[in-house]
Structure 1
Amino acid sequence: MTKAILGKIIHKCESFSPRLILITDSSQIHGRGVVLSLVKSHLRTNTEVHYLTTALSPARIKSYIESEGLASKVTFFDGYSDASGWKNTASCVHLHEPLEELFTVGTVKGSSKYVVVIDKIDDAINHQDSSKLIKSLHKISLDENVEQLIVYASSDCVQENVMSALCHLASATIHLQAAVPYKCRIVLKKPSGKVLQSCEEFNLGPDLTVQDNRTVEIVKHQPEETSDADAILAAQTTFNLTLTEDQRKSKNMLLLPHTRVQSSGGQILYTPDDVDDWDEEDPDDDLDI
């Protein structure tokens, strides 16, 4: 069996199903084909999909998946036609609204599970506070009725601190790179706490199927200890709270003043005050010891 992670995620063959999948691209490479490949994989297993589209019209997205008769299983949320609510179009959603309210997260219990797709998160970031957006994504991914949350983002348009928070929340991240054949860097977080990093190549067929998927490099390591609060805090600030590798090395090499005294030896100098009582008599001379 191939060790390639992308194929396992797309075809739902991974030992566990990532709760939140982040797919990123850039101006040199478009990742919507990978997003739709994953969506079609869910639809083929009769899983309902709730699709928020902000960059393309629902009709355009529908044209990519209707060839197999799968479009009827998709509920579209039109965030493209009237994103700001200026036209007061009743059939459109407005991107300044909390995302969990758009998908009615937490309001219906016990119904069949569905997949939520956000295409693209860039536009939602432009319409609402990034910290609230991160909290909304976290809330959606934890909802018992949501089988999987798929977030599509452009690394060119999303601020570094927000992208860092998205990567932190994601169980699996697929970073597409400009290459022929397609190339991607994958980070998969196991429930055990281990993290798999893999650089893979693949081709995308005319029917949006991932083909010839192979691993170029794979690395296993333990993740650093982080918390959800770290990601939310990072999204709230306009400056970087983390250290680069060079900054970390400089910090570790810095010798603090008290450390210099301890390493070279030191003494305590004390100048007594006039009111100090220096009694040289033995305080215990009356105890007959």
Structure 2
Amino acid sequence: MLPELLKDVEAGGLLIIQDSVRYSGRQLLKSFVKAALNREETVHFIGFEFSEDELRDGLKGPFAKRLHIHSAFTDPLGWTDHPVFTVHQFNAEEITHLIKQTSHASAVTLVIDSLSWILRHVSPSVFCRTLQQLRKGGAVRAIVGLLHADMHQKGIVGSVCHLATSVITVAPGMKAEEAEAKITKRSKSGKVLQDEEIFVIKEDLSVIVQGKSHQTEPIQTGPEEQKMDPTANLTFNLRLSDAERQAKENLSLPFVFSKEKKTALLHSGPSSGRILYEPDENDDYDQEDPDDDLDV
């Protein structure tokens, strides 16, 4: 699934690369930038953690003209007189204005190298609303962002990832050069696809999938959990002894009829009772009109 996402991020999509201190997603983010440029798309890169020189390293070529970098690396909070881009400019109006200033005829992919840096200075509600406005505004075709999951509370990470159409969670692999990607992709129909892959990023930023990941971590059970009996401290007994079980099996239940009782009820004997009706002389009963006594 990772090669499919690199080949094309769906229109209106939001792809989030979720990393941690255990493994950085910076190289994978650069791979998505190069893949977008190879598709002849225009890329607008908002950089808080990448310097411009670091980003352009490995992205040299004829498509470099379609890479527009709005660097907040040197002055992210606007402390100098002429900052290139600051965190306070992260709103739909400012970003749309920056994109429209650049003449282009191809689709635009917006790449943000640190959603976490913005979340540290912008409220989550404003942040999520801005992402939604950028997706729906039409100025960009797709958005790709890097999120450091271990820097935020789980609720904030969950809210941001809930907006995404695709989430790639990266972690170190078994070998030094390998990494593991857990991918969740949501289609427009609402179907959710999940996959786990082992991949390697080459020097030219190409991504090679080595195979599927089948690692499963066993549930660790402590010694107390293994020996604990939930019925140990009850004031009553939930188990039956052999004698009690035998007595229960021999007990005749009141609503269960034995064979002898069924026979007695279904077959009347000589002493069975009958009801006989003999009309007396005061009974006004007409054989031809049984309803004669009714006032109708």
Structure 1 Cα separation of the partners of residues 2 and 105 of structure 2: 29
1:186 paired to 2:183: yes
* Change in 2 beyond 3 A, CA 1:111/1:142: farther
Q: Is the 8 A contact 1:6 1:213 kept in 2?
A: no
Structure 2 contact 40–106 (Cα < 8 Å) conserved: no
RMSD: 2.3
Structure 2 distance, partners of 1:194, 1:35, is 25
Conserved? CA contact 1:105–1:143, under 8 Å:
no
* Segment drifting more, 46-55 vs 179-188: 179-188
Match of 2:127 in 1: 133
Q: Give 1:99 shift.
A: 3.0
What's the % identity of the aligned pairs? 23
Task: Report if aligned partners of 2:180, 2:213 keep a CA contact under 8 Å in 1.
Answer: no
Of 3, 7, 21, 2:3 maps to 7
The reply on whether 1:216 has 2:209 as its aligned counterpart is: no
Q: CA deviation at 1:213?
A: 4.3
Q: Over alpha carbons, which structure has the higher Rg?
A: 2
Query: What SS does structure 2 have at the residue aligned with 1:70?
Result: helix
Q: Deviations over 1:13-57 (max 9, x none)?
A: x8x556100001111111111111111111012100000000121
Q: Structure 1: how far apart are the matches of 2:14 and 2:52?
A: 22
- Give secondary structure in 2 for the equivalent of 1:22: strand
* Conserved 8 A contact 2:44-2:99: no
Q: In the alignment, which residue of structure 2 is the partner of 1:70?
A: 63
Q: Where does structure 2 lack aligned partners over 5 or more consecutive residues?
A: 215-296
Residue number in structure 1 paired with 2:231: none
CA deviation string 1:65-106 (max 9, x = no partner): 12x34322111111111111111224x111023332332169
Matched, 1:198 2:192: no
Q: Name the structure 2 match of 1:98.
A: 90
Aligned counterpart, 2:73 = 80
Alignment of 1:138-287 (within 5 A): 138-179=132-173, 180=175, 181-216=178-213
Residue type at the aligned position of 2:146: Y
Aligned to 2:110: 116
With the length of structure 2 as denominator, give the TM-score of the two structures.
0.65
Whether the 8 Å CA contact 1:118–1:150 is kept in 2: the answer is: yes
Q: Does 1:60 align with 2:54?
A: yes
Residue identity matched to 2:190:
G
Q: Which amino acid aligns with 1:82?
A: D
Q: TM-score scaled to structure 1, two decimals?
A: 0.67
Deviation at 1:143, TM superposition (A): 2.4
Letter in structure 2 aligned against 1:163: V
The list of structure 1 runs, each at least 4 consecutive aligned residues, that deviate by more than 3 angstroms after superposition, is 105-108
- The one-letter amino acid paired with 1:194 is K
CA contact (8 A) 2:12 2:135 kept: no
1:10 is displaced (CA, Å) by 0.7
User: How far did residue 64 of structure 1 move?
Assistant: 2.9
Check the 8 A contact 2:107/2:141 in 1, yes or no: yes
Structure 2 distance, partners of 1:140, 1:106, is 12
Q: 1:105 to 1:211 in 2, by over 3 A?
A: same
